[in-house]
């Protein structure tokens, strides 16, 4: 294994890497920290860059700490646990600003005040465990090698308590590939997804639910995986749970998206849903997490999502929260923009998946020119790309702030406020 004996880490970059230079080539170093001197083992060498992993720390970063998790650096789930939590937020702020500058040529004066997670651990209500030969865990960084775990510090403690029965389940389903867990802290109940290449016998699933799993597991679905999409084959028990978020209550089905960091739910709504509007269009509404509070500050709200289960939940949630000024539609963001082209829109609210919005969607937005746009993003690279196009088309960025939804990992959530 080739070793680079002395690398000076200048800054952290997206993906969880420290950036160094070796003979004019960029080196991306896993598990390094800002302002430190390390030796590193080369993992991959390409024409224009090298990927490496820290071997020895020669001069330690002032922000380095002992990672609390015993699986850290074996399991690939976390990338920043060796850095103090406050510094992790600062690093993400710098990456966000730098992405906007580099990708979109946007020089933002500074970010709004970041919203920190209330807990640095135990914040996740969702887990996606990998399973291999009766063992359960997560893949090591950049591989399909399973690192078997008994607990994950990022998960809500209730999910960790469930792990022994999930291991037992893994031993009983021979071709089980993944188990996804969704936990509701307000109801103290779980929904499971079992991902298998061949169908699971429904009677067997019922027996497992009764004999292996605790009564708090209220529903189990069997799914196949097609690319990164999950397709439901069958479901036993209840296929939804409820989440209480302050004074709002949501029904969330096993197939709908829900915000993973429960410690930030209320903050997220408070900091994103502000002002008052006449006509609002919301794309990527999911089960209505933002739609319900957004409808309270709007005269009329039209919300859409491409996931039919999410739209069913959202419609139910409007009734549950007594909102009658919101209409939900099952369609793509593109279709919604196209169907409402030419209408006056005071606010367009976007919360797309990691890929951001498409060129066609941007074209329709720039034709229709909603007065304001709020863009919630979980990927600074696609956010910067999209804001670049929107600002060229006449929008200016009023402010952007970081929401530390994913402590210990490289993921960056932010919200941008744009005005025409």
Give contact residues for ligand SAM (rule: CB under 6 A): 257-259, 283-286, 289-290, 305-307, 310, 332-333, 351-353
* Rounded least distance, CB 363 to ligand SAM, Å: 15
* Rounded least distance, CB 79 to ligand SAM, Å: 20
Which of 69, 152, 200, 378 is catalytic? The answer is: 378
* Rounded least distance, CB 234 to ligand SAM, Å: 21
Sign of CA dihedral 50, 154, 268, 113: negative
Comparing CB distances to ligand SAM, the nearer of 141 and 289 is 289
Contact predicate 364/373, CB 8 Å: no
Comparing CB distances to ligand SAM, the nearer of 156 and 284 is 284
Which residue's beta carbon is nearest to the bound ligand SAM?
A: 286
* Rounded least distance, CB 252 to ligand SAM, Å: 9
Number of H helices, E strands in the chain: 9, 22
Neighbours of 78 (CB within 10 A): 24
User: Catalytic annotation on 378?
Assistant: yes
CA atoms within 13 A on the CB side of 117: 24
* Rounded least distance, CB 358 to ligand SAM, Å: 8
Comparing CB distances to ligand SAM, the nearer of 112 and 353 is 353
Comparing CB distances to ligand SAM, the nearer of 284 and 340 is 284
Q: What are phi and psi of 349, to 5 degrees?
A: -110, 125
Cα of first residue to Cα of last residue in the chain, in angstroms, is 54
- For 208, counting Cβ atoms within 10 Å of its Cβ (0-12 exposed, 13-18 middle, 19+ buried), the class is buried
Comparing CB distances to ligand SAM, the nearer of 353 and 393 is 353
Order of strands across the sheet with 277-282?
326-330, 298-305, 277-282, 347-350, 372-377, 413-419, 396-403
Tokens at 119, concatenated: 């807990």
Catalytic residues, by residue number, are 378
């Amino acid at each position: 294994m080739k070793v680079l004996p002395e690398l000076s880490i200048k800054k952290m970059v997206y993906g969880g890497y420290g950036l160094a230079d070796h003979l004019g080539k960029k080196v991306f170093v896993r598990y390094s920290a800002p302002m430190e001197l390390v030796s590193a083992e080369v993992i991959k060498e390409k024409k224009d860059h090298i990927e490496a992993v820290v071997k020895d720390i020669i001069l330690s970063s002032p922000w380095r700490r002992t990672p609390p998790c015993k699986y850290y650096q074996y399991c690939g789930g976390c990338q920043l646990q060796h850095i103090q939590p406050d510094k992790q937020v600062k690093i993400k702020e710098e990456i966000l600003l730098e992405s906007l500058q580099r990708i979109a040529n946007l020089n933002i004066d500074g970010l709004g005040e970041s919203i920190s997670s209330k807990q640095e651990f135990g914040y996740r209500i969702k887990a996606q465990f990998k399973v291999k030969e009766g063992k359960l865990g997560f893949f090591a960084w950049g591989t399909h090698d399973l690192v078997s775990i008994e607990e994950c510090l990022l998960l809500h403690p209730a999910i960790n308590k469930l792990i022994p029965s999930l291991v037992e389940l893994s031993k009983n389903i021979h071709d089980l590939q993944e188990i996804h867990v969704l936990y509701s802290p307000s109801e103290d109940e779980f929904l499971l997804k079992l991902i298998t290449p061949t169908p699971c016998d429904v009677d067997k699933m019922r027996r497992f639910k009764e004999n292996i799993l605790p009564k708090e597991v209220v529903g189990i679905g069997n799914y196949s995986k097609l690319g990164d999409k999950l397709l439901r084959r069958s479901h036993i028990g209840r296929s939804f749970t409820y989440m209480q978020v302050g004074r709002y209550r949501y029904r969330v089905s096993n197939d709908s998206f829900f915000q993973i960091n429960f410690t930030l739910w209320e903050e997220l709504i408070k900091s994103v849903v502000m002002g008052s509007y006449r006509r609002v269009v919301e794309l990527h509404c999911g089960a209505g997490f933002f739609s319900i509070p957004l409808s309270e500050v709007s005269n009329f709200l039209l919300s859409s999502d491409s996931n039919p289960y999410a739209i069913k939940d959202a419609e139910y949630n409007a009734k549950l929260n007594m909102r009658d000024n919101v209409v939900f539609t099952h369609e793509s963001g593109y279709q919604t923009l196209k169907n409402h082209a030419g209408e006056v829109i005071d606010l367009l609210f976007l919360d797309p998946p990691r890929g951001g919005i498409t060129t066609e969607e941007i074209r329709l937005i720039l034709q229709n020119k909603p007065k304001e746009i709020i863009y919630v993003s979980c990927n600074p690279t696609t956010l910067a790309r999209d804001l670049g196009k929107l600002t060229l088309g006449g929008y200016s960025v009023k402010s952007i702030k970081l929401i530390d939804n994913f402590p210990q990992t490289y993921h960056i959530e932010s919200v941008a406020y744009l005005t025409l």
